[in-house]
Structure 1
Amino acid sequence: MRNTKLTKFLFVISAITVLIAADHIDAPAVSGGTSDITDFYAFQGEDTNNIVFVANIKGLLSPSETMNATFDENTMIEFNIDTNGDSIEDLVIQATPRDGEMYFFGPYAPSSTGLNSTIDTSVTLSKVAITKYGQEPIIGMENNMKCFAGPRDDPFFMDFARYGEIIAGNASGFNNPGSDTFAGTNVLSIVVEVPKSMIGGTGTINTWVESKVRS
Structure 2
Amino acid sequence: MIKSKLFAVISSVGLIFLAIVLISGDHNDAPSLRGTKADIADFYAFQAPDSDKLVLVLNLQGLIPAGLPTEQAEFDENVLMEFNIDLNNDLKEDVLIQAIKRRDSMYFFGPFQTNETGLESTINTEIMHKVKISTKEDVFITEENGMKFFAGPREDPFFFDQTQFDAYLAGNAKGGFTDPGTDTYAGTNVLSIVVEVPKAMLGTPVSNVNPFAPGTPTYNMWVETKRKIQ
Q: Give the structure-1-normalised TM-score.
A: 0.89
Q: Does 1:209 align with 2:223?
A: yes
1:201 offset after TM fit, Å? 5.1
- 1:5-44 aligned at under 5 Å gives the runs 12-19=1-8, 20-44=23-47
Task: Please name the residue that 1:8 is paired with.
Answer: none
**Unaligned 5+ runs, structure 2:** 9-22, 206-216
1:137 offset after TM fit, Å? 2.4
CA distance in 1, matches of 2:204, 2:32: 38
Task: Please name the residue that 1:121 is paired with.
Answer: 125
Task: Please name the residue that 1:73 is paired with.
Answer: 77
Give the conservation status (yes or no) of the 8 Å contact 2:156–2:190. Answer: yes
- 1:188-203 aligned at under 5 Å gives the runs 188-200=191-203, 203=217
Give the conservation status (yes or no) of the 8 Å contact 1:147–1:193. Answer: yes
CA RMSD of aligned residues (A): 1.4
**Unaligned 5+ runs, structure 1:** 1-11
Percent identical residues:
51
Task: Give the count of matched residue pairs.
Answer: 202
Single out whichever of 195-204 and 51-60 deviates more from structure 2: 195-204
1:72 offset after TM fit, Å? 0.2
- 1:173-192 aligned at under 5 Å gives the runs 173-192=176-195
Q: Does 1:140 align with 2:142?
A: yes
CA distance in 2, matches of 1:177, 1:21: 19
AA at the equivalent of 1:83: L
Give the conservation status (yes or no) of the 8 Å contact 1:127–1:142. Answer: no
Single out whichever of 152-161 and 16-25 deviates more from structure 2: 16-25
CA distance in 2, matches of 1:119, 1:59: 25
Gap change, CA 1:120 and 1:206, over 3 Å in 2: same
Task: Please name the residue that 1:152 is paired with.
Answer: 154
Single out whichever of 13-22 and 109-118 deviates more from structure 2: 13-22
1:175 offset after TM fit, Å? 1.4
Give the conservation status (yes or no) of the 8 Å contact 1:80–1:90. Answer: yes
